[in-house]
Amino acid sequence: MLVGVGLGPGDPELLTLRAVRLLKEAVAVFVPGNLAYELVRPYRPDAVILDFPMTSDEDYIRECLRGNADVIAPKAEEGLVVFGIIGDPNFYSTFSRLCEIISERHPDVTFATEPGISSITAFASVANVPVAGGFFVSDGSDLGSRIVMKVRKPAALAADLRTEGYSEFVLVERMYMPEQKVYQGDDLPEESDYFSILFARRTHA
């Protein structure tokens, strides 16, 4: 199994307890550069640094991804492997693209992610900016997804969002709590808990 582990925004004290545990338990640890290596080094000095180029050359990026996939996959077929990444592995990260390539070339490898403190939330602390109400986050691309917190009537909200072109929905109630529930697609309840998040995504033709 390959687990993408968020290492937080750059301060070694902002690694989660779960991240540290997984780093210690893994049969191998890979990181995409020196900054990530310095965060994992106290726990895994044997972590392997892989090259993930910062470039707009898509062909070269895919070539590097394929090469890195072939390095990581054999270890992930043997046991738990950690790919440590700055921030969170599901927010604007290399990990999802890496998983796509590994799935194509090594279909027996399974994947999971563990969250890290992302720059989106860390920024508010560093800048001392309290955030309330809706806000827009983008990497420069078109707005294709929406996250709504504290969703009390998810089915009705999803119906409204469909009129705006959204067609994929995931609702998570009481996340990481013993009563956690995950609903997907059209299987959304009429009412949900205060501790709930709805993810909606547009399907592009």
Going by C-beta distance under 8 Å and a sequence separation of 6 or more, which residues neighbour residue 3? 22, 26, 80, 81, 82, 83, 111, 112, 113, 114
Whole-number percent of the chain with pLDDT over 70: 99
CATH no. for 2-120 = 3.40.1010.10
Checking if the pLDDT of 205 tops 70, the result is no
**What's the chain's average pLDDT?**
94
Contact 156, 192 (CB under 8 A): no
Checking if the pLDDT of 204 tops 70, the result is no
pTM of the model: 0.88
Range in 66-70, 107-111, 142-146, 190-194 with the lowest mean pLDDT: 142-146
Give phi and psi for 168, each to the nearest 5. Answer: -115, 130
Range in 17-21, 136-140, 178-182 with the lowest mean pLDDT: 136-140
Checking if the pLDDT of 198 tops 60, the result is yes
CA angle 191, 193, 198 (to 5 degrees): 80
Range in 72-76, 119-123, 139-143 with the lowest mean pLDDT: 139-143
What are the sequence ranges of the domains in the chain? 2-120, 145-202
Contact 144, 202 (CB under 8 A): yes
3-state SS, residue 192:
coil
Q: What is the mean pLDDT of residues 54-58?
A: 85
Checking if the pLDDT of 11 tops 90, the result is yes
Going by C-beta distance under 8 Å and a sequence separation of 6 or more, which residues neighbour residue 103? 109, 111
Q: Per residue in 146-169, pLDDT tens?
A: 999 999 999 999 999 999 999 999
CA angle 113, 144, 56 (to 5 degrees): 75
